[in-house]
């Protein structure tokens, strides 16, 4: 149980009323449910001091860095590979995520449009198959991380406005495959048969999605790569990247190739700064539910789920029967992760709880044992990329927005190929930008306050819309009018 934990009886008030959680700042601890689960596992073997040199220096002990190490060490066991992690493995988003392992990229339809139409189905298959590849490695390497391939159900579940979002989502997944197929929207009766939500208006199912405890996946992967000879240096922060070497808080290391895998923490390195910015996402988790309570939710296949709300929610039911529910993105001014106080986080967690209970009123009295936050990496074009800079010996991937758990596997495989200068099906994909064209993948963001104002303008209507629709005091006609106005504004979707 973490410091916000509250095991209590079913009538215990949610833990969010207490001073909450970790601030997800660079040095702040990870106090998620997943981090609690990690405490039961033995520590990873410690390296004493960084080496004087290595062939490949990977910066970041999250999934991108570790998947890269995994495939690189498999493809060329003679390589000397070091992973430098400023904190501990799974400190970042990989140890805090909602746990959807989803075979889709943010901005996928746009990425597909860059490809020859004949190649689009292959590219879509490569993305979708990354879920099965994660499942294969988890099984072969025996990583106990609760991997469960139950598919995804997106539901217009609380108010009629959400049907429009559902239709847009169905159109997007039809295009993501590069083909204009029709994706079926289930009628209310079939929706209700899948999930016992408050107002089942329609749903779309998507098979390429699994759920996982992301921290145990990250930790398990670290253990495997260490066993293969990869050196892991926790508590070793990279301060500067220069051609042929990196400077860390524990000394300088010469290396042939550097792979920055720092995602939302891009601001810590001058090579990546301003190209990916951090946006908070917030999560709450219930205590394990009784079998009767679990059965009352539907979701019999433990599908990942989302209501189609403008605050981009995501949920899963864990192996031990908890509901984990996240959403509500926001950008701290200047990308400063230490700006929010515990009260700021608590407000956001309470708001999420209201949405969860509006979605599943059955959960009104379910105790909330964990509430945490983490940062997603947002690139200027809102779609991920892999960039190479052969002159400077850099290969860099990320910018997943909110879909990094499966994508990091795909990108890890691709980065491994690029490091070894192999031309493969993966290196020809449209998210790999030509050598040196860093701006094509990760254009610099506009300076503050412009980006804060722009993202606020996108995020505020989403929250206002939710508040209006959940209001118990506004008359129905006022709610409908205000909601219609707010829904017409663009919002930031995950």
Ligand X SMILES: Cc1cc2nc3c(=O)[nH]c(=O)nc-3n(C[C@H](O)[C@H](O)[C@H](O)COP(=O)(O)OP(=O)(O)OC[C@H]3O[C@@H](n4cnc5c(N)ncnc54)[C@H](O)[C@@H]3O)c2cc1C
Binding residues for ligand X, per CB under 6 A?
A: 59-65, 84-87, 91-94, 96-100, 102, 237-238, 261-265, 268-269, 281, 283, 314, 326, 374-376, 398, 400, 402-405, 408
Q: State which residue, 265 or 431, has the beta carbon closest to ligand X.
A: 265
| Rounded least distance, CB 264 to ligand X, Å | 6
Nearer Cβ to ligand X (349/451):
349
- Supply the minimum distance, in Å, between the C-beta of residue 49 and ligand X: 15
Nearest approach, Cβ of residue 28 and ligand X (Å)? 10
3-state helix/strand/coil string of the chain: CCCCCCCCCCCCCCHHHCCCCCCCCCCCCCCCHHHHHHCCCCCCCCCCCCCCEEEEEEECCCHHHHHHHHHHHHHCCCCCEEEEECCCCCCCHHHCCCCEEECCCCCHHHHHHCCCHHHHHHHHHHHHHHHHHHHHHHHHCCCCCCCECCCEEEEECCCCHHHHHHHHHHHHHHHHCCCCCCCCCECHHHHHHHECCCCCCEEEEECCEEECCHHHHHHHHHHHHHHCCCEEEECCCEEEEECCEEEECCEEEEEEEEEECCHHHHHHCCCCCCCEEEEEEEEEEECCCCHHHHHCCECCCCCEEEECCCCCCEEEECCCCCEEEEEEEECCHHHCCCCCCHHHHHHHHHHHHHHHHHHCHHHCCCCEEEEEEEEEEEECCCCCEEEEEHHHCEEEEECCCCCCCCHHHHHHHHHHHHHCCCCCCHHHCCCECCCCCHHHHCCCCCCCCHHHHHHHHHHHHHHHHHHHHHCCCCCHHHHHHHHHHHHCCCCCCC
Closest to ligand X by CB, 44 or 163: 44
**Of the two residues 59 and 469, which places its CB atom closer to ligand X in the complex?**
59
In angstroms, give the least distance from the CB of 100 to ligand X.
Answer: 4
Q: Which is nearer to ligand X, 159 or 348 (CB)?
A: 348
CB of 106 to ligand X, least distance (A): 9
Smallest distance from the beta carbon of 476 to ligand X, in angstroms? Answer: 34
Of residues 93 and 109, the one with the C-beta less far from ligand X: 93
Which residue number, 102 or 465, has a Cβ lying nearer to ligand X? Answer: 102
The least CB distance from residue 340 to ligand X, in Å, is: 14
């Amino acid at each position: 149980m973490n410091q916000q934990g509250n095991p209590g009886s079913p009538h215990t008030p949610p833990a969010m009323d207490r001073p909450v959680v970790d601030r997800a700042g660079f040095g702040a601890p990870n106090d998620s449910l997943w981090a609690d689960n990690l405490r039961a596992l033995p520590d990873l073997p410690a390296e004493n001091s960084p080496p004087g040199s290595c062939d490949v220096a990977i910066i970041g002990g999250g999934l991108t860095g570790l998947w890269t190490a995994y495939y690189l060490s498999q493809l060329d066991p003679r390589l000397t590979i070091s992973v430098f992690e400023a904190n501990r493995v799974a400190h970042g988003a990989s140890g805090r995520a909602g746990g959807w392992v989803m075979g889709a990229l943010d901005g996928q339809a746009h990425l597909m449009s860059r490809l020859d139409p004949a190649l689009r189905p292959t590219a879509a298959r490569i993305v979708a198959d990354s879920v099965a590849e994660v499942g294969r490695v988890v099984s072969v390497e025996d990583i106990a991380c609760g991997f469960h391939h139950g598919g995804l159900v997106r539901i217009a579940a609380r108010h009629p406005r959400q049907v429009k979002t559902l239709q847009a989502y169905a159109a997007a997944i039809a295009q993501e495959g590069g083909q204009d197929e029709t994706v079926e929207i289930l009628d209310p009766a079939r929706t209700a048969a899948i999930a016992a939500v408050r107002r089942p208006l329609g749903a779309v199912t998507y098979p390429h999605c699994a759920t996982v405890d992301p921290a145990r996946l990250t930790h398990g992967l670290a253990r495997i790569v260490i066993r293969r000879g990869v050196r892991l240096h926790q508590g070793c922060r990279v301060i500067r990247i220069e051609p042929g070497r990196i400077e860390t808080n524990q000394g300088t290391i010469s290396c042939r190739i550097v792979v920055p895998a720092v995602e939302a923490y891009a601001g810590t390195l001058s090579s990546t700064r301003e190209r990916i910015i951090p946006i908070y996402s917030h999560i709450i988790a219930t205590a394990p539910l009784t079998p009767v309570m679990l059965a009352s939710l539907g979701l019999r296949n433990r599908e990942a789920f989302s209501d189609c709300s403008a605050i981009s929610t995501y949920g899963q039911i864990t192996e031990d029967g908890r509901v984990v529910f996240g959403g509500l993105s926001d950008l701290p001014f200047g990308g400063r992760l230490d700006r929010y106080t515990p009260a700021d986080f608590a407000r956001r967690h309470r708001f999420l709880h209201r949405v969860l209970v509006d979605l599943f009123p059955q959960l009104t009295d379910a105790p909330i044992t964990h509430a945490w936050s983490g940062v997603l990496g947002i690139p200027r074009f809102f779609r991920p990329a892999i960039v190479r800079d052969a002159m400077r010996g850099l290969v860099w991937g990320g910018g997943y927005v909110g879909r990094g758990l499966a994508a990091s596997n795909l990108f890890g495989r691709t980065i491994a190929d690029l490091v070894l200068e192999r031309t493969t099906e993966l290196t020809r994909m449209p998210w790999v930008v030509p050598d040196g064209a860093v701006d094509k993948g990760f254009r610099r963001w506009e300076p503050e306050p412009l980006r804060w104002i722009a993202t606020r303008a996108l995020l505020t209507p989403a929250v206002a819309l939710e508040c209006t629709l959940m209001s118990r005091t506004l008359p129905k006609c006022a709610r409908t009018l205000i909601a219609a106005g707010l829904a017409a504004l663009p919002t930031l979707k995950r």
